[in-house]
């Protein structure tokens, strides 16, 4: 599926760097008029770049050698190889292209890592089954790189030879990068420190602290909505939060009675 890839001086209100062409997510969002933000747009320079890529304001500029080509498959594969996954963009791209565009991509490289990931994501996000035979008996791959993202226990899809290690489901699935800050926080083992602190603190003091934090959290929830409820309503809301999951709500009216 060939793309038009018309040159544009701006992308989502950001000037495109001189002598470059849109690539990856940016090219696909622009081509199909996808309504979704690209957090760090990418483009490929017409020249060589020292170190293969550089930052230019909010842009990531790649060396000319990275130009993927002019097809849908070229730019989607580029995005999977060189950019951060974005499930919102991916879902809206899949909704905008015909099924055979993805089928052609997979048939061209049925054992390739990007192709199998794209294939799995397509069937997961759209609920459609492509007219493709199950993957050959090749080594299974992780859906997202566990060295770059926080992941869950993997679940093997034999059809795609892909291990689904996403944190959520198709209805809600965050992607959390393993940033230096998060890794340092994990290294501090704050959970263990908290357990040790609670273990040597009186139960009544822990209960008071928990009640205070719950009240503060409830007040912040109302503040987001621009409301200033009386204290008794804040306390009722806090109790509703504490009881969440204990009892199955039978009706909308029951929920309203809890928070009223």
Residue 114: phi and psi, rounded to 5, are -60, -40
Domain co-membership, 120 together with 156: yes
Domain co-membership, 53 together with 89: yes
Is 199's pLDDT higher than 90? no
Domain co-membership, 82 together with 10: yes
Burial (CB count <10 Å: 0-12, 13-18, 19+), residue 229: middle
Q: How far apart are CA 158 and CA 178, in angstroms?
A: 28
Domain co-membership, 144 together with 107: yes
Domain co-membership, 35 together with 76: yes
Is 250's pLDDT higher than 80? no
Specify the higher pLDDT residue, 121 or 7. Answer: 121
Domain count, the chain: 3
Domain span including residue 37: 1-97
Assess if residue 237 is contained within a domain.
yes
Domain co-membership, 163 together with 88: no
Per the CB < 8 A criterion, the answer to whether 104 and 73 are in contact is yes
Assess if residue 194 is contained within a domain.
no
Assess if residue 89 is contained within a domain.
yes
Domain co-membership, 28 together with 112: no
Domain co-membership, 84 together with 7: yes
Of 143, 158, 188, at which residue does a domain stop? 188
Of 163, 188, 213, at which residue does a domain stop? 188
Of 97, 119, 154, at which residue does a domain stop? 97
180-190: pLDDT as tens digits: 999 999 999 88
Residue 11: phi and psi, rounded to 5, are -140, 120
Assess if residue 195 is contained within a domain.
no
Q: How far is CA 147 from the centre of its chain?
A: 16
Is 244's pLDDT higher than 80? no
Q: How confident is the model at residue 1 (pLDDT cuts 50, 70, 90)?
A: confident
147-179: pLDDT as tens digits: 999 999 999 999 999 999 999 998 899 999 999
Domain co-membership, 84 together with 12: yes
Per the CB < 8 A criterion, the answer to whether 12 and 36 are in contact is no
Domain co-membership, 93 together with 104: no
Provide the pLDDT for residue 220: 85
């Amino acid at each position: 599926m060939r793309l038009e890839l018309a040159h544009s001086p701006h992308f989502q209100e950001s000037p495109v760097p001189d002598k470059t062409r849109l690539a990856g997510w940016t090219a696909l969002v622009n081509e199909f008029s996808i309504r979704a933000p690209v957090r760090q747009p990418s483009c490929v320079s017409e020249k060589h770049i020292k170190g293969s890529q550089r930052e230019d304001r909010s842009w990531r500029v790649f060396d000319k050698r990275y130009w993927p080509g002019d097809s849908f498959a070229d730019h989607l594969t580029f995005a999977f190889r060189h950019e951060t996954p974005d499930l919102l963009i991916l879902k809206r791209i899949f909704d905008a292209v015909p099924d055979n565009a993805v089928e052609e991509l997979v048939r061209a490289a049925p054992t390739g890592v990007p192709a199998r990931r794209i294939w799995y994501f397509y069937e997961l996000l759209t609920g459609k089954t492509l007219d493709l035979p199950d993957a050959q008996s090749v080594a299974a791959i992780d859906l997202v790189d566990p060295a770059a993202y926080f992941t869950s226990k993997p679940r093997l899809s034999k059809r795609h030879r892909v291990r689904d290690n996403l944190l959520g489901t198709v209805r809600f699935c965050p992607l959390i990068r393993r940033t230096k800050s998060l890794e340092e926080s994990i290294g501090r083992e704050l959970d263990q420190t908290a357990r040790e602190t609670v273990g040597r603190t009186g139960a009544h003091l822990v209960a008071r602290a928990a009640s205070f934090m719950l009240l503060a959290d409830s007040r912040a929830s109302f503040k987001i909505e621009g409301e200033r409820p009386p204290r008794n309503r804040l306390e009722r809301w806090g109790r509703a939060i504490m009881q969440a999951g204990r009892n199955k709500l039978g009706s909308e009216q029951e929920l309203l009675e809890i928070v009223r």
